[in-house]
């Protein structure tokens, strides 16, 4: 994996010579580059200089150089393209709900323009076929978080790629909405070769939650919720005898039984049985944030699927990359 540097105006300044690059994408959305002290040049390693791997999302804006004199290196840190998107509030001028409605690329383009981010970002003009259906953005949401959540509801994700400009022109970061790829339908990961799996099948969760609200004794609000093996929550019981595991949940702040039930359902989701999949692979398997993967552990024959929510990408000085993935539901 090779990287290119630019100056603060986006003009290319040649290859990045480094002794290590590390990205964390999906959570921190930042990076760290290590270069030899003798190679440091503020015109291409200084604040707001770019670096990128063409046609990928691996790159970002350098924010701070940190000399480490004892090791004779300089650490360059900054935000990935995702990190830059998540440094902007989607609605900074008012603390009211925002709704995303319409073709995804068109809606995203509107906000990139509105927030004055067109110098670096450009949204694809193609019709994605992905329609945001009046998605209510949480209050105080940041731009990336808002669109990640809206797209997830449509089984879609945000694709990010750095596009190089023509000769003597600067490049840009292209954004577009694309469907997620469900690799679990045609690829089952196991512990062969470079894949390491850790699957936890937790079977001691609560399956009957007794939800108590306002009132006392016989007059107290109560809703009984039951976990079913298909993952649903119902008001009818499934487990009995030795398989029945009960617990109480108290919430005296709710006003109605409907509110108590809503809060109780959320609580039961936290307490019920669950499966957890951890995966670590080398770079010969390339997964994107939001993509779904499946794994099977051979000893117990447990199989499960989960979406990718974080990538840690480590590139050594020779350009070889190792990628570790975190999946949804993993601690």
Place 272 in a pLDDT band, splitting at 50, 70 and 90: confident
Q: What is the mean pLDDT of residues 291-320?
A: 75
pLDDT at 266 over 80: yes
| Mean pLDDT, the chain, whole residue set | 85
Place 235 in a pLDDT band, splitting at 50, 70 and 90: very high
Q: How far is CA 300 from CA 52, 187, 198, 199, 304, in A?
A: 43, 19, 11, 9, 12
**Would you state the pLDDT for residue 283?**
45
CA 105 from chain centre, in angstroms, equals: 19
The angle, 0 to 180 degrees and rounded to 10, between the axes of the packed helices 104-114 and 143-152 is 170
Could you give the CA distance from residue 188 to residue 185 in angstroms, rounded to a whole number? 8
**Would you state the pLDDT for residue 293?**
76
Cβ count within 10 A of residue 194: 12
Across 17-21, 235-239, 324-328, least confident range? 324-328
Q: CA quadruple 187, 191, 194, 198: dihedral positive or negative?
A: positive
**Would you state the pLDDT for residue 204?**
73
The DSSP line for 132-183 is EEEEEEPTT-BHHHHHHHHHHTTTEEEEEEEE--STTS--EEEEEEEE--BG
pLDDT at 35 over 70: yes
Query: Nearest CA to 199 among 209, 207, 190?
Result: 190
Place 265 in a pLDDT band, splitting at 50, 70 and 90: very high
pLDDT, one tens digit per residue, over 44-67 is 999 999 999 999 999 999 999 898
pLDDT at 120 over 80: yes
Beta bridge partners of 15: 4
E strand residue ranges, 213-301: 222-227, 233-234, 246-250, 274-282, 292-297
- Whether the model clears a pTM of 0.85, i.e. scores above it, the answer is no
Percent of the chain residues past pLDDT 90, beyond the cut = 56
Across 23-37, 123-137, 296-310, least confident range? 296-310
pLDDT, one tens digit per residue, over 122-133 is 999 999 999 999
Q: How far is CA 175 from CA 157, 179, 208, in A?
A: 10, 13, 45
Burial of 172 (0-12, 13-18, 19+ CB in 10 A): middle
Q: How far is CA 234 from CA 238, 264, 268, 282, in A?
A: 9, 11, 11, 42
Could you give the CA distance from residue 284 to residue 295 in angstroms, rounded to a whole number? 17
Is 230 in contact with 270 (CB distance < 8 Å)? no
Query: Nearest CA to 3 among 38, 31, 24, 27?
Result: 31
**Would you state the pLDDT for residue 70?**
83
Could you give the CA distance from residue 198 to residue 201 in angstroms, rounded to a whole number? 10
pLDDT at 255 over 70: yes
Percent of the chain residues past pLDDT 70, beyond the cut = 85
pLDDT, one tens digit per residue, over 198-218 is 555 556 788 999 999 999 888
Ordered by start, the domain boundaries in the chain are 4-84, 99-179, 183-201+275-310+318-327, 204-272
DSSP tally for the chain: helices H, then strands E: 5, 22
Is 282 in contact with 321 (CB distance < 8 Å)? no
**Would you state the pLDDT for residue 286?**
72
pLDDT, one tens digit per residue, over 157-213 is 999 999 998 666 789 999 999 999 887 765 555 545 445 555 555 567 889 999 999
Rg of the chain in Å (alpha carbons): 24
């Amino acid at each position: 994996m090779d990287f290119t540097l630019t100056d603060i105006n986006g003009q290319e300044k040649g290859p990045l010579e480094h002794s290590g690059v590390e990205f964390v994408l999906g959570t921190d959305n930042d990076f760290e580059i290590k270069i030899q002290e003798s190679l440091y040049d503020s015109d291409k390693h200084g604040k707001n200089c770019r670096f990128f791997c063409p046609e990928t999302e691996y790159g970002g804006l350098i924010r701070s150089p940190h000399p480490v004199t004892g090791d004779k290196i300089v650490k360059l840190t900054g935000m990935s393209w995702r990190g830059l998107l998540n440094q902007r509030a989607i609605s900074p001028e008012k603390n009211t709900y925002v709704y995303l409605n319409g073709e995804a690329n068109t809606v995203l383009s509107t906000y990139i323009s509105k927030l004055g981010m067109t110098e670096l970002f450009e949204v694809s003009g193609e019709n994605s076929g992905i329609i945001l259906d009046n998605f209510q953005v949480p209050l105080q949401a940041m731009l990336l978080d808002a669109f990640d959540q809206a797209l997830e509801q449509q089984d879609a994700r945000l694709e990010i790629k750095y596009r190089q400009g023509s000769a003597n022109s600067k490049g840009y970061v292209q954004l577009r909405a694309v469907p997620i790829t469900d690799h679990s339908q045609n690829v089952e990961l196991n512990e062969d070769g470079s894949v390491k799996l850790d699957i936890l099948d937790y079977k001691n969760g609560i399956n009957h939650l007794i939800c108590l609200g306002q009132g006392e004794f016989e007059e107290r609000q109560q809703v009984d919720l039951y976990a079913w093996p298909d993952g649903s929550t119902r008001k009818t019981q499934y487990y009995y005898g030795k398989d029945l595991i009960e617990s109480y949940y108290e919430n005296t702040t709710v006003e109605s039984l409907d509110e108590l039930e809503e809060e109780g359902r959320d609580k039961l989701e936290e307490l019920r049985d669950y499966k957890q999949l951890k995966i670590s692979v080398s770079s010969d398997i390339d997964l994107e944030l939001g993509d779904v993967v499946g794994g099977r552990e051979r000893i117990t024959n447990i199989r499960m699927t989960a979406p990718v929510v974080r990538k840690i990408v480590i590139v050594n000085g020779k350009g070889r990359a190792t990628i570790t993935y975190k999946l949804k539901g993993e601690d």
